[in-house]
């Protein structure tokens, strides 16, 4: 594990990704299984952190989530299965850890994946039950103040890269977030996950000037953020990189 992580760091990786649990796509290693040991996770995290790199983990099972928390993983993806002790552990680490539920993958598999993936195939994988576990766990974590992140597991024919803003509505529908708090998951929390310096993700003096100007009120309807025609201006590093012609014409 040390050798593998060192190789990744040598080759310029910014983040190390561990598959600590199983997955519904592999019957021989289901979602509740934990094929990676705590010792392996600890070694990977210690080695990556020694290079100043962050560690993300695919962790669906209870045991895998606990391994990640004990070992010091920075971001946990999925985290559907839980019990009270695991929820308590996550809450205790809420000022250090970030959690990305990745609900979009399962939502689209059940409702939008035809003809690429038959709904019957998704049901055979146990996706409906995993959605139920996700709702239970991440609703509880929202109430406990965990720092959720949107995105993850986009990049399929039925769930394209660049459509991550759909997660805002998913967070509201599945986990009970308000529009404002869902936006904080995408902005403030996302900025902190990417830059521990805390200079990205909010509109305050001294922050990095990466901004979107939206035509409309996302607090009234967050889905407008999925419409590229509503992006009136994109600013990157303090400079305007995209400006809609109508906005430019009016000064």
Phi, psi of 140 (to 5 degrees): -65, -40
Residue 231's SS3 state is strand
Q: pLDDT per residue over 146-167, tens digit each?
A: 999 999 899 999 999 989 999 9
Q: What pLDDT, on the 0 to 100 scale, is given for residue 197?
A: 86
CATH number of 2-203: 3.20.20.140
The domain spans of the chain are 2-203, 209-251
Q: Where are the alpha helices (DSSP H) in 159-200?
A: 167-175, 179-186, 188-194
> What are the tokens at 144?
């406990």
Average pLDDT of the chain is 94
Angle between helices 127-143 and 84-92 (to 10 degrees): 50
Q: What is the mean pLDDT of residues 169-184?
A: 98
Q: By three-state DSSP, how is residue 76 classified?
A: strand
pLDDT of residue 251: 45
Its pTM stands at 0.92
pLDDT in tens, 90-143: 999 999 999 999 999 999 999 999 999 999 999 999 999 999 999 999 999 999
């Amino acid at each position: 594990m040390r050798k593998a992580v060192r190789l990744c760091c040598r080759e310029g990786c910014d983040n190390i990704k561990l598959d600590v649990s199983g997955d519904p796509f592999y019957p021989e290693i289901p979602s509740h299984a934990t094929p990676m040991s705590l010792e392996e996770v600890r070694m990977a995290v210690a080695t990556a952190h020694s290079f100043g790199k962050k560690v993300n983990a695919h962790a669906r099972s209870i045991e895998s989530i606990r391994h990640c928390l004990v070992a010091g993983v920075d971001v946990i993806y999925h985290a559907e299965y839980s019990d009270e002790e695991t929820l308590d552990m996550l809450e205790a680490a809420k000022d250090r850890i970030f959690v990305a539920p990745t609900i979009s993958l399962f939502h689209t598999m059940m409702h939008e994946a035809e003809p690429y993936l038959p709904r019957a195939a998704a049901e055979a994988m146990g996706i409906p039950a995993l959605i139920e576990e996700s709702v239970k766990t991440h609703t509880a974590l929202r109430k406990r103040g965990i720092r959720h992140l949107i995105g993850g597991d986009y990049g399929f024919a039925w769930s394209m890269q660049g459509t991550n803003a759909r997660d805002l509505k998913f967070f509201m529908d599945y986990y009970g977030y308000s529009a404002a708090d869902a936006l904080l998951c995408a902005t403030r929390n996302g900025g902190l996950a990417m830059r521990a310096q805390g200079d990205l993700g909010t509109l305050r003096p001294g922050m990095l000037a990466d901004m979107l100007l939206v035509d409309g009120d996302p607090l009234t309807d967050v889905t407008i953020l999925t419409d590229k025609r509503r992006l009136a201006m994109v600013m990157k590093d303090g400079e305007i990189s995209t400006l809609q012609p109508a906005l430019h014409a009016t000064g």
